[in-house]
């Protein structure tokens, strides 16, 4: 009987063994969560590096959008400008010329023949100048784009593109084996991952939409430029030129946002409560992650608002 009690006491598991198993499981779970969060944040950093300027913002006017085959978007809009829109613009200019000629004839009488002839000569010169502008309107819009493109090229030469800047691996996960904080960090990382993907898509869409808008506006340029010849409709043409310039300037704003964004991320500072307890490390990670998420949201909003900011800049001219 005594030997049975001794053997039972030997093989009876002690309570610290259960605690050790629980600690091992907790450490394993925390390690898996920590590695998962670090991997997600590192992949986000890689995506942010690839946002860059992607060659669209600094491309020539004829190659902003890639081609599939022998026909490009530039060829399409230029053909539409030449075949369909240019004759309409010339027709509008002829109508404006006729209206101004009628206005001159109504002011003429027998005693004012010389001043009337003078006005007619000025009108002919006026018509020739605007006809030249309309016939070269596509090249004129391209020249405006190239002026802003020069500023973009100089900015790239000064700071490089967004993708060329070094963005270190973002590891903001706490080193403590605190399971609730790591679960919260995983949720933040998943949400920020979604936001980073949205920022990547938005940046590409904004750049492509800008290129497409520039092509469409350039192809329809003869009509608003022809309306500039008449005093009553002159603001339509002026407003068109301002809007086209604003779309061009929006490319420079987008480039500035993409170049400066990694630098802004590198300047984020975690908030430390200073309690001297393990909660400090947890708070550091969570506050840094939330700031990281907020900056990604800010990038999306800034890219969307770049066109509005450019119009605000041009409206002050």
Total number of domains in the chain? 1
Return the top range by mean pLDDT from 43-57, 164-178, 268-282.
Answer: 43-57
- Other Cβ atoms within 10 Å of 24 Cβ, number: 10
- State the pLDDT at residue 171: 47
Residue 96 located in a structural domain:
yes
Q: Report the pLDDT value the prediction gives residue 183, as an integer from 0 to 100.
A: 75
Asked if the structure places residue 236 within a domain, the reply is: yes
CB 201 within 8 A of CB 296: no
CB–CB of 51/162 below 8 Å?
A: yes
As a residue count, the chain comes to 317
pLDDT tens digit sequence for 177-211: 667 777 777 777 788 788 888 888 888 888 889 99
- Picking from 239, 238, 207, 222, the residue whose alpha carbon sits closest to that of residue 77 is 222
The band of 246, judged by pLDDT with boundaries at 50, 70 and 90, is: very high
This prediction's pTM: 0.76
Does 95 reside within a domain?
yes
Note whether residue 27 is domain-resident.
no
For tokens 């990547």, the residue is 200
The verdict on residue 50 lying in a domain is: no
Looking at the domain assignment, is residue 125 inside a domain? yes
* pLDDT band at residue 62 under the 50/70/90 scheme: confident
Q: How far apart are CA 222 and CA 136, in angstroms?
A: 9
Range of the domain at 233: 58-315
**Is residue 68 a part of any domain in this protein?**
yes
In angstroms, the CA 188 to CA 181 distance is 10
Q: Please, which pLDDT band fits residue 109 given cuts at 50, 70 and 90?
A: low
Residue 9 within a domain: no
* Mean pLDDT for the chain overall: 77
Distance CA 200, CA 45 (A): 11
Q: Please tell me the distance from the alpha carbon of residue 48 to that of residue 43, in angstroms, as a whole number.
A: 9
């Amino acid at each position: 009987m005594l030997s049975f009690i001794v053997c039972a006491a030997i093989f009876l598991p002690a309570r610290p063994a259960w605690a050790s198993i629980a600690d091992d499981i907790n450490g394993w779970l925390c390690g898996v969560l920590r590695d998962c969060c670090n991997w997600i944040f590192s992949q986000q950093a890689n995506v942010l590096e690839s946002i860059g300027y992607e060659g669209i913002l600094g491309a020539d006017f004829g190659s902003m959008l890639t081609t599939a085959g022998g026909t490009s978007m530039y060829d399409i809009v230029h053909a539409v400008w030449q075949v369909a829109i240019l004759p309409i613009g010339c027709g509008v200019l002829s109508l404006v010329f006729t209206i101004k000629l009628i206005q001159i004839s109504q002011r003429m009488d027998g005693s004012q023949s010389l001043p009337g002839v003078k006005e007619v000569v000025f009108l002919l010169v006026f018509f020739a100048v605007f006809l030249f502008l309309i016939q070269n309107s596509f090249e004129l819009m391209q020249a405006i784009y190239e002026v802003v493109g020069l500023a973009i090229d100089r900015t790239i030469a000064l700071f490089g593109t967004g993708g060329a800047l070094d963005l270190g691996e973002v590891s903001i996960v706490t080193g403590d084996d605190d399971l609730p904080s790591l679960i919260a960090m995983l949720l933040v990382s998943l949400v920020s991952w979604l936001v980073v993907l949205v920022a990547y898509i938005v940046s590409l869409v904004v750049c492509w939409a800008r290129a497409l808008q520039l092509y469409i506006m350039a192809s329809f340029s003869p009509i608003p430029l022809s309306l500039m010849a008449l005093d009553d409709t002159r603001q339509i043409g002026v407003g068109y030129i301002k809007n086209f310039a604003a779309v061009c300037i929006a490319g420079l704003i987008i480039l500035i946002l993409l170049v400066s964004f990694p630098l802004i991320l590198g300047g984020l500072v975690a908030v430390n409560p200073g309690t001297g307890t393990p909660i400090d490390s947890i708070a550091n990670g969570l506050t840094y992650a939330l700031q990281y998420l907020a900056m990604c949201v800010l990038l999306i909003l800034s890219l969307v608002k770049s066109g509005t900011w450019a119009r605000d800049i041009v409206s002050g001219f």
